[in-house]
A and B are shown apart, each in its own frame.
Chain A
Amino acid sequence: MAKLNVNGKALDVQVAEDTPLLWVIREQIGLTGTKYGCGVAQCGACTVHIDGVATRSCSVPVSAVTAEQKIVTIEGLSPDGRHPVQQAWIKHDVPQCGFCQSGMIMATVALLQANPKATEADIASEITNICRCGTYARVKTAILDVVAGGTLGRG
């Protein structure tokens, strides 16, 4: 039994307490935008925000999250899918297969919230998510576009 706050909703979930948050989000709560890619904190496909911090949810047991901590998944990032980072992703046609992109977007939003003037070097060191389709160049361009537009926080 765990009490969680996901995308602004307080939820009670019946689940063994060592279950990774990723699988609670996907299987108990039913939000499948957050992806499984490795299960060992290597790929970032499972990235969500916990109190605004990008977190690889595959490696956090649900028992480690309190009812007060605010969990945000890709589905809760914006009411209409028009967060400035999502818009930049659409403008630059970033995704290929798309499987890694929820995690990429969540990692990017957390980076830009902490560091709205992120440079190429910041992006290189902070965005460590794996994309096997190789969208890195477009990811970089889209992030720099958001930085240049200064739109974060206004969306």
Chain B
Amino acid sequence: MTSASTASSKTPSSKANLSRRSLLAGSVAAAGAFSFGFAIPFGSEAQAQGATPEINAWVVIHPDDKVVIRIVRSEMGQGTLTGLAQLVAEELNCDWTKVTTEYPTPGQSVARNRVWGNFSTGGSRGIRESNEYVRKGGAAARMMLIQAAANEWKVPAAECSAEKSVITHKASGRSLRYGQVAAAAAKIEAPKDVALKDPKDWTIAGKPLPRLDTVDKTNGKKIYGMDLKMPGMLNAAIKDCPVFGGKVKSFDAAAIKAMPGVRHVLPVGDSAVTVVAETWWQAKSALDALPIVWDEGEHAKVSSESIAAWLKEGLDAPVAVVGNQNGDVKAAIAAAAKTVEAVYSYPYQNHATMETMNATAVWTPDRCEVWTPTQNGEAALAATAEAAGLPIAKCEAYKIDLGGGFGRRGASQDWVRQVVAIAKQIPGTPVKLIWSREEDMTHGRYHPVTQCKMVGAFDKDNNLTGLHMRISGQSIVAGLFPQTIQNGRDPAVFQGLNAPGPEASIGYGVPNLLVDHAMRNPHVPPGFWRGVNLNQNTIYLESFMDELAHSVGKDPLEFRRGLMKNHPKHLAVLNAVAEKAGWGKPLPDGVFRGICQTMGFGSYVAAVAEVSVSPAGQLKIHRIVAATDPGHAVNPAQIERQVEGSFVYGLSASLYGEITIKDGRVEQENFDTYEVMRLEAMPAVETVIVPSGGFWGGVGEPTIAVAAPAVLNAIFAATGKRIRSLPLKNADLKKA
């Protein structure tokens, strides 16, 4: 949780003081100074005029009982919108069928002293970080509504109760609907002590409810950023220098000025060119015809091979940053009866969101507004203000639901800067920038590259006495927030390998352990990619655990269990998955199993894969069983969907995903060369949800990490081949 201004969010107990100020600070600012006849996705104009006062920052109730729940995390398909609404509605005791949602804007949040807290939607944090203060918002609103009814009846509030948006005074048999007392409730002082329900009493949260936002996704009505229309709007296509870090030397605008619809040919910063036209297709066609000369800069010779050689050198480099250590691994290896060693690697990946990057902006000398699909509304607002050269108070960013995020639309907001830079050159004209798929594929913020050298040491009785894991490669944090890196240390690179604790901890106890990192940052810009560093770290560790088990002739599950005595939560999930998958039980001829586990984004996860490999080397994944312990399960139906989706994302990456670099630029331009998983390859996925309570873990990401190692370990069981470099499409699985 970062600096949200609600008093409640800072108090870990279930009771907290909600100050009146934090709940009722100011009115929501009128939405947007520009009037385009375009309905922005914020429905409280009436409220700005005082017709429907909010009960508090999270809850508005209309006289007809319609409940509006405010959501600030972004909906990108992961179901956070529905999950957060369930949590508020649960404490509000409202009628779920009357619930709608709306997004406060980042500008409104700034104006209200960040009453809604953090807007950032990434790291599977949407629910786990904000659940407490949004639930308190719902509970406080319920208490105020009950108090308003009690005041009207002149009875103590303690004699009244509320269920399904109706307040009842049992003794006298009277009742009032929420809509009837909402106006009075809004004037009541916010309660100081707010108790939350025990999750075992939940009736809305914790239930597998359908999503609130499905219907419009089935009839073409849902408006994505790419679909926005405004009167007088122009459309922009963009080309950034194909070599990262290069610049535009020159372009010949005259050559395309006469093409249909072309209005402007403009530089964007020093590295990109845009064509602005009446339609996007005209803009793209003209841009493709535009002669551009690039100054490719110092990285024009870099290739995947040169990057791999640099990373390889890091595997044995004398200088490395320690991430987790106990005992003396060097001594353990030196004294070992037997050592096992292996080197692994993981390639660049593109997020390849289904909807490419896009944003719409209008700039005038005293105001700039942007509409965009973003995972972080506040970061979009900050990027807008910076690029516009205006104070934040004169800017606004409106969030549009995303056609996929996966981390791409979070930290960098690079496309927002671009659209504002374009709009600034055409004052007063709305301009919509859409990236072509080619631009999106070649100018991503890529899943970083790393290599890993693993060394395991056994004593003469085949006990694992030492484990050294040396990671060499790229740091996402160094790429995005270089100022935060000190002495080459990026704690995020050790995801899933940390010492015991609540986040991303390793699941094994080894007497002598060393996990260290030699940072090597190529020029390819890295980004948070769904699952982040847990993905490759789990492949490295869990594949190698399998190698270690086989090297001493032990069952991979038994071998792991032997190292997990002090890691009960990791072990419980591993056991749950093994049981559900029937580990050790017979399988159809030619089908083999692999198993793995990890912990990250606050959750414990494990998977078993069942695969077969044909004599020709054709892999088929028949079945995946996944188990997750996210502490609390807010909506089991949506968790199942997230787990299934995460396996598609993870398996897509391990089967096909690979961005390669040649002459300093990305070689893949579209889905024909950057292949992704399709329905045909989708295995049956069974999800076991084992919430053990007491903590809040994420759901969207952690299971991605167990997709690949479960499959890789099953491939070894099937073929005896240990795949240490991804994607699998490059591996020959034919039986030797």
A residues contacting B by CB (< 8 A) are: 16, 19-20, 23, 26-28, 30-40, 42-43, 45, 73-75, 77, 81, 86, 89-90, 93-102, 105, 123-125, 127-140
Contacts and interface: CB of A to CB of B under 8 A. Distances in A.
A21 B77 CA distance: 28
B124 to A, nearest CB: 15
Contact of B644 (A30, A81, A86, A138): A138
Given A20-B281, A90-B215, A97-B355, A130 B678 contact: yes
Given A16-B260, A133-B645, A134-B644, A33 B220 contact: yes
Question: Chain A binding site: helix, strand, loop or mixed by DSSP?
Answer: loop
Contacts of A96: 77-79, 641, 645
Interface in B259-281: 260, 279-281
A16 B436 CA distance: 20
Contacts, number: 171
B289 to A, nearest CB: 13
B66 interface: no
A100 B226 CA distance: 13
B711 to A, nearest CB: 15
A130 B218 contact: no
Interface in B214-239: 214-224, 226-227, 229, 235
Given A81-B218, A89-B214, 4 more contacts: A42-B671, A74-B220, A99-B224, A129-B678
B641 A93 contact: yes
Contact of B77 (A16, A28, A128, A133): A133
Contacts of B672: 40, 42
B641 A98 contact: no
Given A32-B227, A99-B354, A128-B678, A135 B641 contact: yes
B636 to A, nearest CB: 12
Given A20-B281, A27-B281, A138-B641, A38 B682 contact: no
A113 to B, nearest CB: 17
A32 B217 contact: no
Contacts of A74: 219-220
B681 to A, nearest CB: 9
Contacts of A75: 219-220
30 contacts: A27-B280, A28-B279, A31-B220, A33-B220, A33-B221, A35-B226, A36-B434, A37-B355, A37-B356, A40-B672, A43-B354, A43-B671, A94-B218, A95-B218, A96-B645, A97-B354, A97-B404, A98-B217, A98-B403, A99-B403, A124-B679, A128-B678, A130-B678, A132-B354, A132-B406, A132-B649, A133-B77, A134-B648, A135-B644, A136-B644
Given A27-B281, A96-B641, A33 B76 contact: no
A94 B402 CA distance: 16
A101 B217 contact: yes
A30 to B, nearest CB: 7
Interface string B340-371: 00000000000011111000000000000000
* Chain A to chain B: the 4 pairs with minimum beta-carbon distance, closest first: A33-B220, A134-B648, A97-B77, A98-B217
A27 B285 CA distance: 14
Contacts of B79: 96
B221 to A, nearest CB: 7
A102 B226 CA distance: 14
B210 A93 contact: yes
